[in-house]
Amino acid sequence: MPRIALIPGDGVGPEIMDAVIPVLEALADKHGITLQMEVYEAGDETKKRRGVALPEDTFEGVRKADATLMVAVGETAKEVILPIRQELDLYVNLRPAKSYPVPNAVQGFDVTIVRENTEGLYVRAGWTNGDTAIDLRVATRRGSERICRYGYRYAKEEGKERVYVVHKANVLLGCKLFREVCSSIAEEEGFEYREMYVDAAAMRLAMDRPFDVIITTNMFGDILADLAAAYIGGLGMYPSGNIGDDKAVFEPVHGTAPDIAGKGIANPMATLLSAAMMFKWLGYREAGEDLERAVWRACELGYTTPDVGGKMRTWEVCASVRDLILAR
């Protein structure tokens, strides 16, 4: 029985999570999956009340769970997400940017960013000396190898052929190592090695997209992913997973959307699609695909929130997705 930790978080988090839970229950029920879901608190509001953004009972719940689904936490995001990523060693940040039939998306856009999640410029090591600030950028053979293998294996599993390793090896030492490791792994994993400099990749992402999957380092992945978000209708449509060898935390790419919090119009699709990724990761591929199909159909029918051209409220979108799941 899979154990799922749910973290609604702050801002639009609770309203999205409340609407999403009945969809997950209906999906699990339809596919004969017994889910043990437990809700935990974390974030700004939690810090105000309890003095810490990630209380020990929440951390323990995440540790014990097979997978976690989180919506978003506010200003304390780093105090919540970073310790979880570090302790559970969630070295993959998987961001599939696929357009669904909403009017503000470029149809046919389908590029998955496989971003290294623990190294690079985000190790938060460095120092300041007077007017000079220095950040350390870390790349290890082990870190490069595991993200690269994950990327190729993911591509194989998903039937995606055009896999590019994206780096800046002409300038950066860490990228030289990354390139060396990835180029030796490609063939072992059954792929032709293809690569591109990150600046060129940004242009090609906007232009003709010769890739299905991009395997890249931490900061490059972060930036390319947000560029990709612009082509799929924005952050309300963009799911992600932080994945390790035996644990994973799935969350929409967006934050707490304070400008629309409490209005009931937050787009729940990114969270639903993150949940679909979670079902697949847990081994329930059919259930994950069923949820993706229901989201697709809801978008086709215009059962969407205002950010993607619709008129529905968060709970109405989720109720429609639930009905679509149960109707088939």
Paired with 6 in beta bridges are 39, 69
**C-alpha to C-alpha distance for 68 and 4, rounded to whole angstroms:** 5
First to last CA, the chain: 24
CA 68 to chain CA mean position, Å: 12
Nearest residue to the partner ligand NAI, using Cβ: 255
168 as an active site residue: the answer is: yes
Residue placing its CB nearer to ligand NAI in the complex, 214 or 249 = 249
Q: Write out the binding residues for ligand NAI, residues 268-287 only, by CB under 6 A.
A: 270
199 belongs to the catalytic site:
yes
Catalytic residue among 98, 160, 168, 247: 168
Of 211 and 238, the one with the shorter C-beta distance to ligand NAI is 238
**Chosen residue from 307, 313, 317, 324 binding ligand NAI by CB under 6 A:** 307
How far CA 90 is from CA of 67, 81, 87, in Å, comes to: 11, 10, 8
Name residue 69's beta-bridge partners: 6, 250
Asked if 74 interacts with ligand NAI (CB under 6 A), we say yes
What DSSP character marks residue 239?
E
Instruction: Determine, following the binding rule CB under 6 A, whether residue 232 of this chain makes contact with ligand NAI.
Output: no
Find out whether 126 and 144 touch, Cβ atoms under 8 Å. no
Q: Residues 44, 222, 290, 307: which is the catalytic one?
A: 222
**266, 272, 295, 318: which one binds ligand NAI (CB under 6 A):** 266
**255 near ligand NAI, rule: CB under 6 A:** yes
Dmax of the chain from CA atoms?
65
Residue ranges binding ligand NAI (CB under 6 A)? 12, 72-75, 77, 81, 235-236, 251, 254-260, 266-267, 270, 307
Residues designated catalytic = 122, 168, 199, 222, 226
